[in-house]
Amino acid sequence: MSKERIVFVHGSGSFGAAAWPRQHGLARDYDALFVKRLGYDAAAEPVASDFLADRDIVLDSLGEGGHVVAHSQGAIAAMLAAVQAPDLVRSLVLVEPACLSITAELPATQAYRTRLEPLFSRRLEMTDEEFSGEAIRIAHAMQAQPVTDESRRQARRMRLQAPPWEAPLEIVPGVPTLVLTGGWEPLYEEIAQYLASTGAVHRITAGGHQPQETDAGDRLMRDFLRAHRCV
């Protein structure tokens, strides 16, 4: 008997299997695929993001169907895939989903967009380092990291990403969904609460923007996936 498939979709930092260090062991029980979104590659130069191309990467990876686990901006591709082909998606796990376009009228989302939109409007006029440093400072109140070859590549990826509030998202019809948040940022809690109002299960645990890397977060994900396995 073949294993059920899980497609893991990364956010805007680490990608592929590196984005899911606590979940590698799931490959013992599932056919686990750790995909890379458009523009994410260890050697190739980054390219401009494309919401629909990322959706198609998820759909192609699902094959005959399976579960989708996604983090941050990767949740956009996961939700788009579930809307496009709900018969292929057995369950969704959305970790700190950056799905701002579905909560566009809500206060935390509006405040976040107000802070970031002027920067995104100038992104094609800025260097990669200028954009990423300003984005990190505004969004996370952090200082820019030391400059390395990989940090330059990551800065370029960040500048080439379309703002998440432009994603053409809709509510996923009838797909069992877990939303996992770290309880640290009103934006993600607002998105999670909105998704919960449409039928998703929302759970909060420690871990900031990476709750999937905590014991409790990893356990919540595994329990949800196990509960929605095909019998």
| pLDDT of the residue at 43 | 83
For residue 116, give every residue at least 6 positions away whose Cβ sits within 8 Å of its Cβ, in sequence order, or none: 135, 138, 139, 163
What's the domain range around 130? Answer: 107-160
Domain match, 92 and 179 both = yes
Domain match, 182 and 95 both = yes
Domain match, 148 and 173 both = no
Determine which helix (DSSP H) or strand (DSSP E) holds 91, and give its type and residue range: strand 89-95
Among candidate residues 189, 186, 191, 185, the one with its CA nearest the CA of residue 171:
191
Domain match, 93 and 126 both = no
Domain match, 12 and 57 both = yes
Domain match, 78 and 154 both = no
Judge whether 180 and 22 are in contact, CB under 8 Å: no
Domain match, 173 and 87 both = yes
Domain match, 70 and 90 both = yes
Domain match, 83 and 123 both = no
End position of a domain, from candidates 120, 143, 160 = 160
Domain match, 94 and 176 both = yes
Measure the CA–CA gap between 191 and 171, rounded to whole angstroms. Answer: 12
| pLDDT of the residue at 23 | 97
| pLDDT of the residue at 102 | 97
Mean pLDDT per 10-residue interval, the chain, length 231 residues: 92 93 96 96 89 98 97 97 96 98 97 94 90 81 56 86 94 93 97 97 96 97 95 62
Domain match, 21 and 54 both = yes
Domain match, 95 and 199 both = yes
Q: What is the Cβ-side half-sphere exposure of residue 24, based on CA atoms within 13 angstroms?
A: 6
Measure the CA–CA gap between 171 and 11, rounded to whole angstroms. Answer: 20
Domain with residue 173: its CATH number is: 3.40.50.1820
Q: How many domains does the structure of the chain reveal?
A: 2
Determine which helix (DSSP H) or strand (DSSP E) holds 55, and give its type and residue range: helix 51-62
pTM of the model: 0.94
Residue type, 158: M
